[in-house]
Amino acid sequence: MSSPAGAEENAATPRRLFLALWPGVVERAQIAELAAQAAGRGRLRDANLHLTLAFLGATGAARLAAYQAALAELPMPELDLLLDRYGYWPQSRILWLGSSRTPPELYELVAELHRRLRRCGFEPERRAFQAHITLARRFPGPAPVQPPAVPVRWRSAEVALVESILDRQGARYQVLQRWPGARLADGSME
């Protein structure tokens, strides 16, 4: 099936990409627990939980290379997120987890990503960035009345480039690359 011609074709096929904060094992388990409490069986698969920073959409190889070059020297803040509230968007029927005090550094990071990607032809979404982790799609609503009993503390200093791959069970996400913040031995940033 995978003839050389087929391989070339695959290389030329645009990939559906986005940039995200990608939880580590511990935070992922904690977020998944909240998803299970709030949405039960209708929740996203644990492995798919993430916080989208920028949706890049179908991206060809040349554009991807330009994005990667643009993000090479990304100044990355250390983000300290407290995921302490649920939200629900009735129009898209999305149940999400977020923070009642999204740190300004996260908005600044998204603005910086937009600045860098725009130079490569990227067009950011018009609607304002809203930091959220989707817990369930096609959720009947409303969001749980009570906030999470145990909020999740998530410290992140990495932007992940993620590919969305459709399989029989829906979208599966694969991290292709990460841009780590340069951290000094004493914990401060370069």
Measured from the CB atom, is 17 or 76 closer to ligand 3AM? 17
Q: Is 30 in the site for ligand 3AM (CB under 6 A)?
A: no
Whose CA is closest to 180, among 157, 155, 154, 156? 157
Q: Which of 97, 134, 152, 161 binds ligand 3AM (CB under 6 A)?
A: 134
Q: Which tokens is 85 given?
A: 């509230």
Site for ligand 3AM in 65-94 (CB under 6 A): none
The helix (run of H) or strand (run of E) holding residue 154 is: strand 152-156
Q: Which of 46, 164, 172, 177 binds ligand 3AM (CB under 6 A)?
A: 164
Q: Which of 125, 167, 186, 190 binds ligand 3AM (CB under 6 A)?
A: 125
Q: Is 55 in the site for ligand 3AM (CB under 6 A)?
A: yes
CA atoms within 13 A on the CB side of 79: 29
Whose CA is closest to 20, among 45, 69, 56? 56
What whole-number distance in Å separates Cα of residue 156 and Cα of residue 24? 9
Q: Is 102 in the site for ligand 3AM (CB under 6 A)?
A: no
How many residues contact ligand 3AM, by CB under 6 A? 6
List 166's β-bridge partners, or say none.
171
Name the residues that contact ligand 3AM, by CB under 6 A. Answer: 18, 52, 55, 125, 134, 164
